[in-house]
Amino acid sequence: MNDEQLLRYSRHLLLEEIDVVGQEKLLSAHVLVIGAGGLGSAAAPYLAAAGVGHITLMDHDAVELTNLQRQIMHAESSIGKSKVASGKEFLERLNSSIQIETIQAKATSSLLDELLPSVDVVLDCTDNFSTRHLINAACVKNKNPLVSGSALKFDGQVSVFDPRNKKSPCYACIFSPDEQFEEVGCSSMGIFSPLVGIIGAMQAAQALQLLIGFGETLVGRMLLWNGRTTQIDEIRISRNGECSVCSSAH
């Protein structure tokens, strides 16, 4: 690190769990954030501010007026602009020394297979089951740790699925891809504005822990945040030996 970086990240360097070695790991890391909406708007800025050296934003959508209630990477002047372009401008203002790459497209298996070999951690900041299953399958295949978050109405959840850990479940161990889930979104159900910020920030924190290698991540656990009661619950989750995605039998 140069003198400017030593000063910029000095509050991290004071933390024994991070120090210079941990910060250098962040500076050399590549994180893929899939979804530049509510969750991505909270997660990506913290990753950029913390000094993750290479961030790729993937999203196919454009900024709309209804997004501005919670998607804080985007402003009124961004309406009509692609979310990844708007997000890149925001992140570059925050930290001009890091690389921000954008992909204006929906996640597909072939695209993820192309990207993931060079990625250290994936953040799933999407809002539907089919895309989450697609991302999970790609991460299992390519052995990428996945930080998964979701938020709807007043309820949010976050967990970590790490295929490098033999005991780690994957997303499909909990939500079987064979089951039919009703796709509901905030456009019809509504969402509490700070909820995406809380869950997205948790996703960023988990990603930083994975990259640096300190503490205990949410592998094997799912954190549930209730915005009505300000209560945090945790459930233990185990690997499904018959999972159609991550089981060795398949």
Reported pTM: 0.95
Strands (E), the chain: 30-34, 54-58, 99-103, 121-124, 146-152, 155-161, 221-226, 231-236
The fraction of the chain above a pLDDT of 90, given in percent, is 92
For residue 250, pLDDT over 60 is answered with no
Q: Would residue 250 count as lying in a domain?
A: no
Note the Cα 174 to chain centre separation in Å: 18
- Please give the pLDDT value at position 184: 64
Q: Report yes or no: 105 and 60 within 8 Å, Cβ to Cβ.
A: yes
- Name residue 81's amino acid: K
For residue 174, pLDDT over 80 is answered with yes
The fraction of the chain above a pLDDT of 70, given in percent, is 96
For residue 56, pLDDT over 80 is answered with yes
Q: Would residue 243 count as lying in a domain?
A: no
Q: What is the pLDDT of residues 175-185, one digit of tens each?
A: 988 876 666 66
Q: Would residue 158 count as lying in a domain?
A: yes
Average of per-residue pLDDT values in the chain? 95
User: How far is the C-alpha of 65 from the C-alpha of 149, rounded, in Å?
Assistant: 23
Range of the domain at 23: 3-236
Q: What is the pLDDT of residues 110-153, one digit of tens each?
A: 999 999 999 999 999 999 999 999 999 999 999 999 999 999 99
Bridge-based pairing state of the strands 155-161 and 146-152:
antiparallel
Q: How many helices (H) and strands (E) does the chain have?
A: 10, 8
- Please give the pLDDT value at position 183: 64
CB count within 10 Å of CB 56 equals 20
Q: What is the mean pLDDT of residues 58-87?
A: 97
For residue 208, pLDDT over 80 is answered with yes
Q: In 3-state terms, what secondary structure has residue 37?
A: coil
Q: Would residue 245 count as lying in a domain?
A: no
List the CATH number of the domain containing 120: 3.40.50.720
Specify the length of the chain in residues. Answer: 250
The count of domains in the chain is: 1
Q: What is the pLDDT of residues 215-239, one digit of tens each?
A: 999 999 999 999 999 999 999 999 9
Q: Report yes or no: 41 and 201 within 8 Å, Cβ to Cβ.
A: no
Give Cα separations from 197 to 39, 127, 137, 151, 209 (angstroms). 6, 14, 26, 10, 18
Return the DSSP state at 153: B
User: How far is the C-alpha of 92 from the C-alpha of 28, rounded, in Å?
Assistant: 17
For residue 157, pLDDT over 80 is answered with yes
- Please give the pLDDT value at position 124: 98
